[in-house]
Amino acid sequence: MKAAELFVRCLENEGVEYIFGIPGEE
């Protein structure tokens, strides 16, 4: 598995909002 794929999976686990840099309060 590529490091980029791991990074994306971590973002998906935390919430896609983090990809855009939004805390998710909206």
In tens digits, the chain (26 residues) has pLDDT values of 688 888 778 777 766 655 566 555 55
Give how far the C-alpha of residue 2 lies from the chain's centroid of Cα atoms, to the nearest Å: 15
The rounded distance, in Å, linking the Cα atoms of 11 and 18 is 7
Distances (CA, A) of 6 to 11, 13, 25, 26: 9, 11, 25, 26
Distances (CA, A) of 17 to 1, 3, 25: 23, 20, 9
pTM for the structure as a whole: 0.39
